[in-house]
Amino acid sequence: MARFTNQAQLRYGNEITNSNIAVGEITEVLSATKTAVRDTYGQNENVTYVISIVNSGTTAFNGITVTDNLGEYLFNTRELTPLTYIPGTVKYYANGILQATPAVTAGPPLTITGITVPAGGNVTLT
């Protein structure tokens, strides 16, 4: 969260006076988490992740894009990506109600676009 201060200054002729200092805070209204459905997976098993986005604000957020690097990491001089997206598997829920499938680019990175998070609501992507 960002904190800000603001002070006004009034000049008239040679006189200068300052106002009080107003203090405020810009709070984050969107938060996101990503978790695996299970703690462990075996070799060649599909890994299922859940991405949750919560909007604590009073305005909906439209056109959100979610990007996932699919576990990409640098090994020596090569970038390795251990995970791949299985086409057609993304499910998009807004406030617990299944929505139309969003646009997905398999990547890497995996990109999910066209997400709307309702005011005071949440979105779950699986």
19, two tokens? 């106002």
**Residue 17: what pLDDT?**
87
pLDDT, one tens digit per residue, over 96-110 is 999 999 999 998 899
43, two tokens? 């070799």
pTM score of the predicted model: 0.75
CA distance 125 to 37: 12
Domains located in the chain, CATH noted: 29-125 (2.60.40)
Q: Which has the closest alpha carbon to 94: 123, 126, 54, 115?
A: 123
Q: What is the pLDDT along the chain (126 residues), one digit of tens a residue?
A: 567 888 888 888 888 888 888 888 766 799 999 999 999 988 888 999 999 999 999 999 999 999 999 888 888 998 888 889 999 999 999 999 999 999 999 988 999 999 999 999 999 999
